[in-house]
Structure 1
Amino acid sequence: MSEVSPPPRRWPRLLLLIALSLALHALLVDWGRRQIILPGATQEQAMTVELRPLPPPEQPVALPVPRPTQPRAAKPASRHAAPARRSEPSIEPPDEPIRETVEPIYTPAPEAPHSAPATATATATASDDGTGKTSDGKGQGTAGAAAEGGQAQSDAPGKSYQTSAPPSVLLRYDATGTKDGRASYGRGSIAWRNDGPHYSVEGKAKVLVFTVLNFTSQGDLDGNGLSPELYTEQTGFKSATNTHFNRERNVVSFSASTTTYPRRGGEQDRGSVIWQLAAIGRGDPAQFRAGAVIDMFVAGVRDGEVWRMQVQGEEDVTLPIGQLHTWHVVRMPKPGSYEDRVDIWLAPQHEWYPVRVRYTEPPSRGGDFIDLSLSGMEALPP
């Protein structure tokens, strides 16, 4: 019988080698972890050192503290400087250059009190310094700018004039002028009718076949001279407008606006004002003297104002009808106004009829004009 040999003793050695190998790997892994963590810890210490707080500033901001007080101290100086600029000379156009030719302006004093039943109420001033006061310090009647729907002053208390309305007549005119700066020619006419208690005026101006101006005025002849009731005006292709002088409510009103004025007597419209001047001249020629001033409230198509009528003096004018001796009267609007300048030449030897009338726009509206020169006249029945 054969013997079984015992197993070799290699296994305990093999197991020991494996255990030693595992122990070495464990040591290597631990050593490796420490090597990796150490740099990280060093980097954290470096970051901590770099994040130190900066030292506070040395307070340079304290230097500008007084500066805000400097503008405050300078403001009163600028406020005092503003009035100094206002005192500089004005560059606006001179007030009413027409006065250069009529100085001194004065009102003729009648030799005796007016006793005629027909008188025209108007304001005659001895002098005007541009403030709306006469030489005696009293305020004269003015028509201040009225807001839409408001009511303005229309009366101009002052001197009463003798009046005598001229007889009925048809006046024909040659019309010359400019339209948009270009010369234009045409014809015009004014039909004046006086039947005693009433009057009517109808005026037309045509260029070629176009009517550039058409107006009518009608009313009574009373103690104020001409007393209008209704004024109608149409220019170019615009719609006609009406101005009412309501006697029942004593109000002057307009179809083109809601502005109203109290009616106190003596108010005129654009068509009647010329014939009111003629009535004053016929009532007493001595009331016309060079330099005399007559103020009348005149209503237009939207509002009204006091027209200053300045008597330039006597002039000889050459017209299509011939040479005539006239009184030249000018309505000069205020500087900056959009109203027309109106020149009127009245002929005493022809019942003080207006033998020439010229309307001139201000430069702000183009400066066009229309000039009506008498070419013929025809008596009309009352």
Structure 2
Amino acid sequence: MSEVSRPARRWPRLLILIASSLALHVALVDWGRRHIIVPGQTQAPTMTVELRPVPPPAQPVALPAAKPTRPSSARPANAVRRPAPRRVPEPSIDPPDEPIRETVERIPMPAPQDPPAASLPTSASGAGQAGRGEGEGSASADHGNNGNNGSGEAPDAAPGKVYQTSAPPSVLLEYDVTGTKDQQPAYGRGSIAWHNEGDHYKVEGKAKALFFTLLNFTSVGALDAWGVSPELYTEQKGFKSATNTHFNRERNVVSFSASTTSYPRRGGEQDRASLIWQLAAIGRGDAGQMQAGAVIDLFVAGVRDGEIWRVQVLGQERLTLPVGALQTWHLVRMPKPGSYDDRVDIWLAPQHEWYPVRVRYTDLRPNGDYTQLDLSGLKPAGQ
């Protein structure tokens, strides 16, 4: 019994010894892993962090002090004066065009002079009105001396010339239009309708190139002892607005819707459309008045002002036109030097009632354009 129980008592001790041995081996292995470096294996670096308190500053930090406020007008004595910024002037704006108006204030002036009795028509048959007298010639010369003062005062008188006039019969003139627009060739059609109604007239003209209108004008007035006497002239060029020129018989004033300029009306004044028909009436009234080298002075009102037009008779020329070959008188109006007005050439055909068979307007400025109308058809007015 005692022999069997003695080995059983040894087992707990043996188990305790084995557990202690195992714990010792585990501790040795862990220590060797952390302290023994195996060849070919690098040891991880060891970082040591030490936190130290920041020492206080040797001197206290000086904060910026606020600047004392002072009135804006105050300036330190030693302050440097800086030049004021330069102001750039605003671009100038061109003044607007003169206002459009249709009437003018009444201007005191003497009543228009009538032509001498000897020059008055002897019959009332419309086309054969007698010409303008010496009084009208003086009025025309007066305007020439006046130029363009717009003051409404009568200029100095000057002797004039007597013209016999006979207004041509009604007609519709058709033209081929050639010329340039912005230095590019332009072609089109034009027409002038002249209506002789005995004591009144109406002339309508237009010139078109392709799809745009170069010129459109109308002149209406009387056929009297002065010849062709306009009362209202309307002109429209290109895409510009139409303008009116008034020859007011009641106020005896020539005025413009496109400016405030005005002139005294004394009889014999022309507009740019009636001028051609007045020249035709002069040639038809007495062909002897058309001589090479002769000059015809007429006051012509445009769209903004007026002046004397000296029309020179250059002589006879033979033209070949769409309607055939014609013998014509060539007349020309040259603008004054420095003027931006057009040169106007007119060819009148005596064999066709002195109708204008060719008219040319030339812009004399550099790179200026021109427009020429050549007669291509002649019909009675109203057709």
- How far the C-alpha of 1:362 sits from its partner, in A, is 1.5
Q: TM-score, normalised by structure 2?
A: 0.63
Contact 1:143–1:152 (CA<8 Å) still a contact in 2? Answer: no
Q: Which residue number corresponds to residue 254 of structure 1? A: 256
- How far the C-alpha of 1:209 sits from its partner, in A, is 1.6
- Is 1:377 aligned to residue 378 of structure 2? yes
The amino acid across from 2:363 in the alignment is E
- How far the C-alpha of 1:150 sits from its partner, in A, is 2.9
- Is 1:334 aligned to residue 336 of structure 2? yes
Distance 1:124 1:325, change over 3 A: farther
- Is 1:119 aligned to residue 109 of structure 2? no
Distance 1:355 1:347, change over 3 A: same
Once the two structures are superposed, the pairs formed by residues 343-354 of structure 1 within 5 Å of their partners are 343-354=345-356
- How far the C-alpha of 1:146 sits from its partner, in A, is 3.2
SS of structure 2 residue aligned to 1:161: coil
Runs of at least 5 residues in structure 1 that lack an aligned partner in the other structure: 1-112, 126-138
Distance 1:252 1:143, change over 3 A: farther
- How far the C-alpha of 1:141 sits from its partner, in A, is 4.6
Q: Which residue number corresponds to residue 226 of structure 1? A: 228
The separation in 1 between residues aligned to 2:204 and 2:166, in whole angstroms, is: 19
- How far the C-alpha of 1:381 sits from its partner, in A, is 5.6
| Pairs aligned (count) | 255
- How far the C-alpha of 1:160 sits from its partner, in A, is 1.6
Q: TM-score, normalised by structure 1?
A: 0.63
Contact 1:143–1:153 (CA<8 Å) still a contact in 2? Answer: no
Bigger helix share: 1
Once the two structures are superposed, the pairs formed by residues 130-279 of structure 1 within 5 Å of their partners are 141-142=143-144, 144-147=146-149, 150-151=151-152, 157-279=159-281
The separation in 2 between residues aligned to 1:212 and 1:341, in whole angstroms, is: 17
The separation in 2 between residues aligned to 1:218 and 1:360, in whole angstroms, is: 25
CA-to-partner distance for each residue in 1:39-90, whole Å, 9 max, x for gaps? xxxxxxxxxxxxxxxxxxxxxxxxxxxxxxxxxxxxxxxxxxxxxxxxxxxx
Runs of at least 5 residues in structure 2 that lack an aligned partner in the other structure: 1-117, 123-129
Q: Which residue number corresponds to residue 136 of structure 1? A: none
SS of structure 2 residue aligned to 1:370: strand
- How far the C-alpha of 1:123 sits from its partner, in A, is 10
Q: Which has the larger radius of gyration?
A: 2
Once the two structures are superposed, the pairs formed by residues 6-17 of structure 1 within 5 Å of their partners are none
The amino acid across from 2:144 in the alignment is T
Contact 1:123–1:141 (CA<8 Å) still a contact in 2? Answer: no
- How far the C-alpha of 1:363 sits from its partner, in A, is 1.5
The amino acid across from 1:291 in the alignment is G
Distance 1:338 1:299, change over 3 A: same
Distance 1:114 1:314, change over 3 A: farther
SS of structure 1 residue aligned to 2:144: coil
- How far the C-alpha of 1:122 sits from its partner, in A, is 8.1
Contact 1:178–1:370 (CA<8 Å) still a contact in 2? Answer: yes
- How far the C-alpha of 1:144 sits from its partner, in A, is 3.8
Q: Which residue number corresponds to residue 325 of structure 1? A: 327
- How far the C-alpha of 1:336 sits from its partner, in A, is 1.0
SS of structure 2 residue aligned to 1:327: strand
The amino acid across from 2:131 in the alignment is T
The separation in 2 between residues aligned to 1:333 and 1:123, in whole angstroms, is: 25
Once the two structures are superposed, the pairs formed by residues 276-295 of structure 1 within 5 Å of their partners are 276-295=278-297
Distance 1:124 1:252, change over 3 A: closer
Contact 1:123–1:294 (CA<8 Å) still a contact in 2? Answer: no
